[in-house]
Amino acid sequence: MDRPGFGRVFRFFRLRLPRRPRWTVPAEETCGEGKKETEESIRESSLSNYTGGPHFFEYLFVVSLKKKNSGDDYEPTITYQFPKRENLLRGQKEEEERLHGAIPLFCFPDGNEWVPLTEYPRETFSFVLTNMDGTRKIGYCRRLLPAGRGPRLPRVYCIISCIGCFGLFSKILDEVEKRHQISMAVIYPFMQGLRESAFPAPGKTVTLKSFIPDSGTEFISLTRPLDSRLEHVDLRSLLGCLSHEQILQIFASAALERRIIFLAEDLSTLSQCIHAAAALLYPFSWAHTYIPVVPESLLATVCSPTPFMVGVQKRFIQEVLDSPMEEVLLVDLCAGTFLKSVGDEGDVLPPKLQNDILTSLAQGNNDLQTLEQINEHVSGPFVQFFIRTVGHYASHIKWGSDRQGHFQEKSFCKALTSKTKRRFVKKFVKTQLFSLFIQEAERAGHPMQGTSDRKSLNMRNRRNRRNQKKRL
């Protein structure tokens, strides 16, 4: 790495998606003994635990390209930030200095070979970082050409937050961009008002009052989706780039914690697709190297012998292909093809469950209108897959007198009567995905019980009933 100490300050984000399962497991699919339907749940993290605080965001940075002292290359440099440095406490200043070393690298991951441009398509993308204390931060970025005439260099607006809500922050970036075209001074009151506002609960709206010269007072409404469990992803990205069969094979590779590299021309596609792929693992969380867009200086990451899920711009495809890699799935999002694969991706999951996922994904597409409906439609079959394979986990946690749980792996696997399910589960229980999930359940101190979250299942059932009526 060409930035001294960078690796000591940040280790790559281990994606921990917000918890949402309240599982309903048909008894005949677990123990096969005609037991009544069991209900099992994982307690959803509170908003404060997930966001890390009441504020929408921590920092706003503007990153511009400045010519180096020697040569014709440009390097990304922070040219504006909010809140100002003098308004920070000592601990905040130390953290901000660390951010200063990382933010430019991820805002311009494509290297230093830039020249002034007259046209450049705006891009909205994101990156994620984990600090040394384990807290995670998300960078929401908007890269574009600033207003003006003649050749000029792109700049990036970057909002740092602990909250995963990409649609909401995209709208905030729209407002920042609009004000920056007028004056940097117009950004400050808007961001100050935003920072003083509490992040809304699901389905609620925060309205900000903002004055813009020559336009007067504006009221900006920021509404959080009612169903907050998938507000951090846009699953349309995967559907637009890949077939259902390919998405299923990516899911299978991720479930076995293999190395996955996504290639695309633009940053937006990379970050959206990698977030979407990781979200399909819900209620499990990818626990390994996770970089939505790998900066050029960190391309050596793809040589790592450990599992990873990363996005690489297609301009660096040769560097990727020349890297010594084993058991890697190399996904070309632009062409919709796999450039490299292990070869068994289609055989990892039980055949019947694979067919059920594909059938569900193919049904009712014409009835989907909103992003939330699309996210539910795509994610629902994968949630069902885990319900049908490992949803009986809570019945195999033995509780001691100290309220500490002890997972009974052997009986858990034996409870599955299907050989194909049992073969998959025996591999899956050895992954960190499952181990971390079970460790959390064991630490809960009591058997997790609660009402089942039927939202995604009810949507699927309604869609199936509509399709049956159409066929009749």
Where, residue-wise, is CATH 3.30.450.200 in the chain? 53-162+166-224
**Confidence grade of residue 25 (pLDDT, cut at 50, 70, 90):** very low
CA distance 247 to 364: 18
DSSP-derived 3-state class of residue 363: coil
Bond preceding residue 283 cis, omega within 30 of 0: yes
**Percentages (nearest 5) of helix, strand, coil residues in the chain:** 40, 20, 35
Examine the pLDDT at 451 and tell me if it is beyond 60: no
Q: Which two tokens stand for residue 341?
A: 């694969």
Task: Measure the CA–CA gap between 427 and 203, rounded to whole angstroms.
Answer: 39
CB 293 within 8 A of CB 109: yes
**CA torsion sign, 179 to 180 to 182 to 188?**
positive
What's the whole-model pTM score? 0.78
Q: What does the buried/exposed string (b/e) look like for 98-111 if buried means 16 or more CB atoms within 10 Å of the residue's CB? A: bbeebbbbbbbbeb
- What mean pLDDT comes out for the span 317-332? 89
pLDDT-based confidence at 46, cuts 50/70/90?
very low
Q: Give yes or no for a contact between 397 and 406, defined as CB atoms under 8 angstroms apart.
A: yes
Q: Which CATH number does 53-162+166-224 carry?
A: 3.30.450.200
Using CA atoms, how far apart are residues 284 and 298, in angstroms rounded to an integer? Answer: 27
Identify the three-state secondary structure at position 127.
strand
Weakest-pLDDT range from 45-54, 144-153, 281-290: 45-54
Check pLDDT > 90 for residue 87. Answer: no
Res 105 pLDDT > 60:
yes
In the structure, what pLDDT confidence band is assigned to residue 130 with cuts at 50, 70 and 90?
A: low
Tell me which amino acid residue 429 is.
Answer: V
pLDDT at position 62, please? 92
Q: What pLDDT is recorded for position 446? A: 52
DSSP SS3 for 399: strand
Classified as helix, coil or strand, 160 is strand
Judged by DSSP in three states, 335 sits in coil
Mean pLDDT within 213-230: 80
